[in-house]
Amino acid sequence: MGEKVLMKGNEAIAEAAILAGCRHFFGYPITPQNEIPEYMSRRMPEVGGVFLQAESEVAGSNMVYGAACAGARVMTTSSSPGISLMQEAISYMAGAELPCVLVNIVRGGPGLGGIQGSQADYFQATKGGGHGDYKLIVLAPSSVQELMDLTITAFDLADMYRNPVMILGDAILGQMMEPVILKERPKQDLPPKTWATVGAKMRPKNVITSLSLDPVKLEKHNLRLAEKYKRVADEQVRYKTYMADDAETLLVAYGTCARIAQAAVDIARERGLKVGLFRPISLWPFPYDALQLTAQESLRVLVVEMSLGQMIEDVRLAILDSKPVCFYGRTGGMTPTPREVLDEIEKIVEEGI
Amino acid sequence: MKQVFGRPDALTDVPTHYCPGCTHGIIHRLVAEVIDELGVRERTIGISPVGCAVLAYDYFNCDFVEASHGRAPAVATGIKRVLPDSVVFCYQGDGDLASIGAAEIVHAATRGEKITVIFVNNAIYGMTGGQMAPTTLPGQRTTTSPRGRDVESAGYPIRVAELLSSLSGVAYIARVSATSPANVTKAKRAVRKAFEMQIDGKGFSLVEFLSTCPINWGMSPLEAMKWVDEKMSLYYPLGDYTQVPEVG
């Protein structure tokens, strides 16, 4: 442990799952995340685990549902169109409070879209995706090391709160190679899975269902879920800032875009512009309070996304119209360059926004 | 005094919601008796479908999971791959298994998942009020085939036992009914064999029950039993469909 290795983002996710004690993986091929099932098909038999290639994302995500019912640490991975197919199982798992880890290596959409990196699944990940009142915990890494660390964290959060947790990456993060340090997982004090359906031996039967025909009971269940989501929102907000203390222009970006935005901050600072970065790491719960506080002294906010503007809605909710919120984004699998972001910064500064 | 008949341990002591003349109750009982006789209740996990048997978890006294529509074989796969020593059975209707869940059942069977599927075919969507099912007979009237199933437009009913029996992962498939004491006895033998195949690690097993839906068929319970014997079993012949093909 503590070993430094060069890894591809997708492979780091897979190895992190193994390190986190995940021994069951169900998946279906889709670009740009195929390295994950390929890695798992090699690695799982070495550690006594199960790799199974499902007949579809629909089936794969329902295999995850079953494995989670049986108390296993379980993961599936896919990319945008495949994640759309999983929304049924995701809603059921949220309703039945089943822990699992889902990875979306996002590609450009809508429809079949393309295979280049994108952040256009933000709404789907953070605002529901499937039917009903529920929340996913959504984590957005921005380096291969973070892909690894947050994947391990995701398993613990899933078990801690009995909730599906999604890692929201993109094609660029999945395909890039960076050095990572394989760390020992810190010991977690997690609740025993007394609810799991493993056979009713010396105890009354366990039943796992999301069906509740009595609306009084279903409302009560949903209100209990809401209390859980509030606890998550109180306890699991994650973010980082970069040169934000004296920033007149505060960039807000996550994942791949945060790396680009950080490069733009460096160039802007060289030119004497007071620019900083706020990077949400937990997209749900979104760091509303921290962003509001960080942005307090700045004159303007610039949201940078690889989409037509989705996270910007949460940024606006955090800022509450106290200052202008501008947007720069590329869509369809196009990636903004630091130069483009810098041009946008200079433009809004010049215009006196 | 020796008790010769009673409620199986694998059934709970609650009244079911099934309609009079529906054979779900008999089928539940047969499955529960087999679970008892094999002594596996404490390591059995059942999966209920979306359909009339959605509340089966209230009636069976073992661990139970409710799956989304058609996905029971995928859910069962997830459970069984985590707990290889458990006994996992799916309880599915014809809409659930042969329509929306067609992909899941075919692939669970061809993988040879060591699970048992109790497939209840009553040729109609019961819970939603009598719509056409993938197993609705040609000419059969339903609320979405009010002039009778027109095979030119709606296609032909699916023979699940025959279809799945061509797959190499299958260890045992039978089609049975519960319309007479003799048929019930045969059905129980089939259910027992299906569970034994799973426990012995032989592969995928399925028992298709031709069942009744007097309410949605617009028949009395007795007429419904007769319709199974005289009409359904002509299109869906009872018997053993296991033919594990040679792998060449």
Determine whether the interchain pair A65/B78 forms a contact, defined as Cβ–Cβ distance below 8 Å. Answer: yes
What's the CATH code of the domain at A314? 3.40.50.920
Mean pLDDT of A141-145: 98
What is residue A184's predicted lDDT score, i.e. its pLDDT? 76
**Closest CB to A70 among B42, B61, B83:** B83
Residue A274, number of CB atoms within 10 A of its CB: 17
Mean pLDDT of A221-249: 98
What is residue A187's predicted lDDT score, i.e. its pLDDT? 78
What is residue A119's predicted lDDT score, i.e. its pLDDT? 98
pLDDT at B248 over 80: no
Residues A173 and A156 in one domain: yes
Domain end (from A235, A260, A287)? A235
Q: Which residue's entry shows tokens 């199982």?
A: A89
Residues A206 and A251 in one domain: no
Give how far B55 is from chain A: nearest CA, Å: 9
Determine whether the interchain pair A210/B103 forms a contact, defined as Cβ–Cβ distance below 8 Å. Answer: no
What are the tens digits of pLDDT across the range B145-195?
999 999 999 999 999 999 999 999 999 999 999 999 999 999 999 999 999
pLDDT band for B39, please (50, 70, 90 cuts): very high
Helices A9-19 and A35-46 meet at what angle, rounded to 10? 30
Residues A294 and A191 in one domain: no
pLDDT band for A2, please (50, 70, 90 cuts): confident
Distances (CA, A) of A27 to A22, A51, A105, A168, B154: 14, 8, 13, 16, 34
Determine whether the interchain pair B78/A211 forms a contact, defined as Cβ–Cβ distance below 8 Å. Answer: no
Determine whether the interchain pair A67/B79 forms a contact, defined as Cβ–Cβ distance below 8 Å. Answer: yes
Residue B13 lies in a domain: no
Determine whether the interchain pair A198/B63 forms a contact, defined as Cβ–Cβ distance below 8 Å. Answer: yes
Residues A149 and A18 in one domain: yes
Residues A99 and A190 in one domain: yes
What is residue A349's predicted lDDT score, i.e. its pLDDT? 95
Per-chain mean pLDDT for chain A: 97
Range of the domain at A288: 240-350
Mean pLDDT of B126-134: 97
Residue B174 lies in a domain: yes
For this complex, say whether ipTM is above 0.85: yes
Determine whether the interchain pair A197/B76 forms a contact, defined as Cβ–Cβ distance below 8 Å. Answer: no
Q: Is the Cβ of A40 closer than 8 Å to some Cβ of chain B?
A: no
Per-chain mean pLDDT for chain B: 96
Q: Is the Cβ of A210 closer than 8 Å to some Cβ of chain B?
A: yes
Residue of B nearest to A207 (CA): B64
- Percent of residues, chain A, with pLDDT higher than 70: 100
**Closest CB to A66 among B48, B61, B74:** B74
Domain end (from A181, A205, A235)? A235
Residues A42 and A69 in one domain: yes
What is residue A98's predicted lDDT score, i.e. its pLDDT? 98
pTM here? Answer: 0.97
pLDDT at A188 over 90: no
pLDDT at A1 over 80: no
Kindly state the helix (H) or strand (E) to which residue A289 belongs, with its residue range. helix A288-295
Closest Cα to residue B95, out of B42, B67, B129, B134?
Answer: B134
What is residue B211's predicted lDDT score, i.e. its pLDDT? 98
Q: Is the Cβ of A182 closer than 8 Å to some Cβ of chain B?
A: no
Residue B83, number of CB atoms within 10 A of its CB: 22
What's the CATH code of the domain at A147? 3.40.50.970
User: What residues 44-73 of chain B have any CB closer than 8 A to a CB of chain A?
Assistant: 44-45, 47-48, 54-55, 57, 60-68, 71
Give how far B166 is from chain A: nearest CA, Å: 18
Determine whether the interchain pair B54/A56 forms a contact, defined as Cβ–Cβ distance below 8 Å. Answer: no
CB < 8 Å to A200, chain B:
41-42, 61-63
Determine whether the interchain pair B42/A68 forms a contact, defined as Cβ–Cβ distance below 8 Å. Answer: no
Mean pLDDT of A307-320: 97
Residues A77 and A198 in one domain: yes
**Closest CB to B78 among A55, A67, A209:** A67
Mean pLDDT of A44-52: 98
What's the CATH code of the domain at B80? 3.40.50.970
What are the tens digits of pLDDT across the range A100-123?
999 999 999 999 999 999 999 999
Residues A127 and A194 in one domain: yes
Range of the domain at B178: 24-240
What is residue A321's predicted lDDT score, i.e. its pLDDT? 83
What is residue B247's predicted lDDT score, i.e. its pLDDT? 55
Domain end (from A182, A200, A235)? A235
CB < 8 Å to A48, chain B:
none
Q: Which amino acid is at A209?
A: T
CB < 8 Å to A54, chain B:
74, 107
Number of domains observed in the structure of chain B: 1
Q: Is A179 helix (H, G, I), strand (E, B) or coil?
A: strand
Residues A157 and A225 in one domain: yes
Q: Which amino acid is at B59?
A: Y
Residues A207 and A335 in one domain: no
- Percent of residues, chain A, with pLDDT higher than 90: 95
What is residue A266's predicted lDDT score, i.e. its pLDDT? 98
Q: Is the Cβ of B79 closer than 8 Å to some Cβ of chain A?
A: yes
Question: What is the 8-class DSSP label of residue A83?
Answer: H
Mean pLDDT of B65-91: 98
Q: How many CB pairs under 8 A join A and B?
A: 132
Determine whether the interchain pair B78/A74 forms a contact, defined as Cβ–Cβ distance below 8 Å. Answer: yes
Residues A143 and A108 in one domain: yes
Number of domains observed in the structure of chain A: 2
Three-state SS string across chain B, please?
CCCCCCCCCCECCCCCCCCCCCCHHHHHHHHHHHHHHHCCHHHEEEEECCCHHHHHHHHECCEEEECCCCCHHHHHHHHHHHCCCCEEEEEEEHHHHHHHCHHHHHHHHHCCCCCEEEEEECCCECCCCCECCCCCCCCCCECCECCCCCHHHHCCCCCHHHHHCCCCCEEEEEEEECCCHHHHHHHHHHHHHHHHHHHCCCCEEEEEEECCCHHHHCCCHHHHHHHHHHHHHHHCCCEECCCCCCCC
The answer to whether the beta carbons of residues B126 and B213 sit under 8 Å apart is yes
Residues A174 and A207 in one domain: yes
Residue B245 lies in a domain: no
Provide the sign of the torsion angle of the four alpha carbons B98, A112, A16, A310, taken in this order.
negative
pLDDT at B245 over 70: no
